[in-house]
Amino acid sequence: MKNNFTPYYAVIFTSILKEEINGYSEMGDRMMELAKKQKGFLGVESAREDVGITVSYWNSLADIDKWKQNSEHALAQKMGKEVWYKSFKIRIAKVEIEYEFKK
């Protein structure tokens, strides 16, 4: 993440993929490139096993809404619903405190 200043917001995206996911990885890479250029984007963490979890961090709810309305991101959302995901859930949380441990 670019800063440790709280509060900020976390968008928690959990998903289960269908068997056929042609183009999914490329779209994910494009969305990452695009998100990094958006106002208020702070960073992202992601993991995938049976359930995929991506948490993106934002300065404000307005920045999150603007990202949601981005035309390329809207296309990716449509493709996700129609082609790639069996199911997904989005949660938005306000981060009040952050702790970090590094060796």
Beta strands in the chain (DSSP E): 8-17, 41-48, 52-58, 85-95
Is residue 43 in a domain?
yes
- How large is the average pLDDT for residues 89-98? 95
CATH of the domain at 29: 3.30.70.100
pLDDT digits (tens, 9 = 90+) for 18-36: 998 999 999 999 999 999 9
Please list the helix, strand and coil fractions of the chain in percent, rounded to the nearest 5, in that order.
35, 35, 30
Asked if pLDDT for residue 1 goes beyond 90, the answer is no
Angle (CA) 85-1-14 rounded to 5° is 20
pLDDT digits (tens, 9 = 90+) for 2-11: 456 779 999 9
The tally of domains found in the chain comes to 1
Is residue 37 in a domain?
yes
Is residue 102 in a domain?
no
Range of the domain at 88: 8-95
pLDDT digits (tens, 9 = 90+) for 71-82: 999 999 999 999
Q: Which residues contact 87 (CB under 8 A, 6 or more apart)?
A: 15, 16
Report the Cα 11 to chain-centroid distance in Å. 6
The residue type found at 85 is Y
